Structure 1
Amino acid sequence: MYEDKTVAVIDYRAGGEIIENLKKLNIHVVTTRRHDTLSEPVNGHPDMVMFKDESSGIIVCPEEYNYYEECLQPFNIKILKGCNELGNKYPGNIRYNGVLNGNVFFHKVDSTDARILDMMKGRNIKCINVNQGYTKCSTVTLGSGGIITSDAGIMKAAVEEGFDALLISSGYIGLDGYDYGFIGGSTGFVDNTLYFTGRIDKHPDCREIMRFLYEKGIETVFLSNKCIYDLGTIIFLKQGEECEK
């Protein structure tokens, strides 16, 4: 059993520099595995196969449940099996790509995994429907610090719910096989620190992003010296209670 450990779930294709820098920060790294139903560019993206809930546990698609149960067992991280398997096309591939920030859940709700929706209902979490089904990909969640997104619809919904939100330009983030990746998929947030997969110097909104984070008192870590790249969110988990089934 590990004690007081932060775990980072990250795409199996993440570069050695990123993984080594996480380890230097005393963060245990769990890599995803290839999910053949998903398209090649995103078949290792954590935010496509799992949803992080408020208790620092995860809801995982049924196909990947046993893998993550084994990987995360030493950390007593709560892991629940989702109801819906993933499809290979939109919207069947977005079941677990919702965003929970505080007491509000954002997603294309008619495509959300049933267990996630049951959890939201049980906790009296407000569910807000947005058109962008790749909601987590598109969104940096900062808890009470608000959100950063490149999607105008998510931005509008977040502001209407009282969140401080920053809208940034689309693009300028790498993702092989697509024109560009997304800011949410290129970052991970834990302990008041936002981790970037790479540098954001070439993003036209770099200054606005850094100013927004500075004003919120949020620290930043750049895990590589390469340009920022979409790895499907670095999902940080804290050692928690015994696993539920």
Structure 2
Amino acid sequence: MGGVATAEHVKDGEDLRAVAVRVAGEAAELVRRVRESAVTEVDTKSSETDVVTAGDRAAERLIRQRLAELRPGEPVLGEEEGGGAGAEDGLCWVVDPIDGTVNYLYGYPWYAVSVAARREGRSVAGAVVEPVSGRVWSAARGHGAWCDDTPLRVSPASRLDLSLVATGFAYAAERRSRQARVIDGLLGRVRDIRRSGSAALDLCAVAAGWVDAYFEHGLKPWDWAAGALVAEEAGALLRLPGTSGDDLGDITLAAAPGIAEDLLAVLREAGVTAV
């Protein structure tokens, strides 16, 4: 569960988690309140299907303002405004103002605000807050993971053929086609596949045992910075982009320990290394 931490670091992580929960909660309330008008102001980013709303921008501005008040001088890396300069020298906040913006646009209630604190390349605290349900997922390194007041633990899954696996897809059509071929090779080897549209919440779902594993290519740090820590602290085996040192490229993967190696083997057979 996240490795060994000193008492000082655990205390610091708990303090940072409290800040993440507070700030993400305030942004989630804003996102919920302004949705009806926010989705009338929509721009695109990497493609016509990759959208950003006025709600995304307003939430990130609020998060930056509150972090500047509560944690002055600490850099912030956000999906909409970038930043993060100086992060290599200490603590950096990594922010996704709305993870699952397409869901937000359509009114599909599976989206969240994600706020994480990272130190020396590792998440040490984070929160993922759902504006619609009000659920608060949070974790501090060495101190476990929680959904509201309930401690989290991954599923005891030990058979891949009886496992429920979540995934996501890129916005670029060519890459989506390659990802579809991987899913075609995986479908007959697992219980079923889920695709919800929010990486942060899929990672939290692994932590809760709602799914047995999750994988996706092409995520950015703000997509997984908080959710991956929640999954890891709940006992998931974790692989993050650029850290595994193997042929899996920019894959993000969290899985119950009993199926992780089998899932990786099947993904390789299905061609995931070519995605």
Shared fold by TM > 0.5? no
Quick check: which has more Rg, 1 or 2?
2
TM-score, normalised with respect to structure 2: 0.28
| TM-score normalised over the length of structure 1 | 0.31
More helix by share: 2
Structure scoring higher RCO (CA < 8 A, sep ≥ 6) equals 1
